[in-house]
């Protein structure tokens, strides 16, 4: 039979069974994976600023700047304590590049000769231990750099006010405790005096009763 025969051509062109056919069968997975809740450590914090940037740290031994990573830098404010920290993660691996609190004593300055970069000192905890670091961060635009510096300074000043507030509250608490301790001490002394007087009175009464009994016994 010729290959041009319609029946033969239909057999050749007919799709193999199962190529496009939906059988409706449900295939169960070989391994069942349970959903795992992933935490970032940022659940109790509110972001104040979030910018793309590239971070460098100054290597004292090599006397040069070394790239720490490129990603997103954030200022995160804790909902309960009000403390603010700077956190930066690498864009792909999410590895932490910088992680430290913004303290009232900190300041940020424009990097000499580059309006898109700025520098600051910090006690950083990115590697799991506190280290004194000199950081330099570079942004895609001058506007982003200025926004970062302004936010940095605002946060530092707000933390100074928070520290003063905490110090004042602590001083008030200490004063209150001191007053309460003095009141308790005075109350204890008064009770002690009353007890001493009571014991002295009972002793005196006992002596008088004994003297009163002596003549009767001798008679």
Q: Does 165 have pLDDT greater than 70? A: no
Q: Does 103 have pLDDT greater than 50? A: yes
Whether pTM exceeds 0.85: no
Mean pLDDT, to the nearest integer, of 94-113? 95
Q: How far apart are CA 63 and CA 151, in angstroms?
A: 29
Report how far Cα 171 is from the mean position of its chain's Cα atoms.
Answer: 25
Spatial contact of 135 and 126, defined as CB atoms under 8 Å apart = no
Q: How far apart are CA 8 and CA 5, in angstroms?
A: 5
Higher pLDDT, 26 or 12: 26
What pLDDT score does 6 carry? Answer: 47
Percent of the chain with pLDDT over 90: 52
Mean pLDDT, to the nearest integer, of 43-60? 96
Spatial contact of 100 and 139, defined as CB atoms under 8 Å apart = no
Confidence band for 67, pLDDT divided at 50, 70 and 90: very high
pLDDT 10s digits, 133-160: 999 999 999 999 999 999 999 999 999 8
DSSP 50-102: EEEEEEEEEETTTTEEEEEEEEEEEEEEETTT--EEEEEEETTT--EEEEEE-
Nearest to 135 by CA among 159, 156, 108: 108
Please provide the average confidence, as pLDDT, over all residues in the chain: 81
Q: How far apart are CA 97 and CA 70, in angstroms?
A: 9
Q: Does 8 have pLDDT greater than 60? A: no
What pLDDT score does 12 carry? Answer: 52
Nearest to 86 by CA among 95, 74, 71: 74
What pLDDT score does 166 carry? Answer: 63
Mean pLDDT, to the nearest integer, of 173-180? 73
What pLDDT score does 152 carry? Answer: 97
H or E stretch including 143? helix 142-218
**Range of weakest confidence among 31-45, 52-66, 161-175:** 161-175
CATH number of the domain located at residue range(s) 45-170 in this protein: 2.30.29.30
């Amino acid at each position: 039979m010729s290959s041009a025969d319609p029946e033969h051509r239909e057999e050749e062109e007919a799709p193999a069974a199962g190529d496009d056919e939906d059988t409706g069968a449900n295939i169960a997975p070989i391994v069942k994976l349970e959903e795992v809740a992933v935490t970032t450590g940022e659940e109790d914090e509110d972001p104040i600023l979030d910018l793309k940037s590239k971070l460098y740290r100054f290597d004292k031994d090599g006397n040069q700047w070394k790239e720490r990573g490129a990603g997103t830098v954030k200022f995160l404010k804790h909902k309960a304590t009000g403390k603010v920290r700077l956190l930066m993660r690498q864009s792909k691996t999410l590895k932490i590049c910088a992680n430290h609190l913004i303290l009232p004593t900190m300041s940020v300055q424009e990097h000499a000769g580059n309006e898109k970069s700025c520098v600051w000192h910090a006690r950083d905890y990115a590697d799991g231990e506190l280290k004194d670091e000199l950081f330099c961060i570079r942004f895609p635009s001058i506007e982003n750099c200025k926004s970062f510096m302004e936010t940095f300074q605002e946060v530092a000043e707000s933390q100074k006010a928070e520290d003063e507030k905490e110090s004042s509250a602590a001083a008030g608490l200490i004063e209150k405790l001191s007053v309460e301790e003095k009141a308790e001490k005075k109350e204890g002394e008064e009770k002690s005096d009353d007890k001493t007087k009571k014991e002295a009175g009972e002793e005196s009464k006992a002596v008088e009763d004994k003297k009163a009994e002596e003549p009767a016994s001798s008679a």
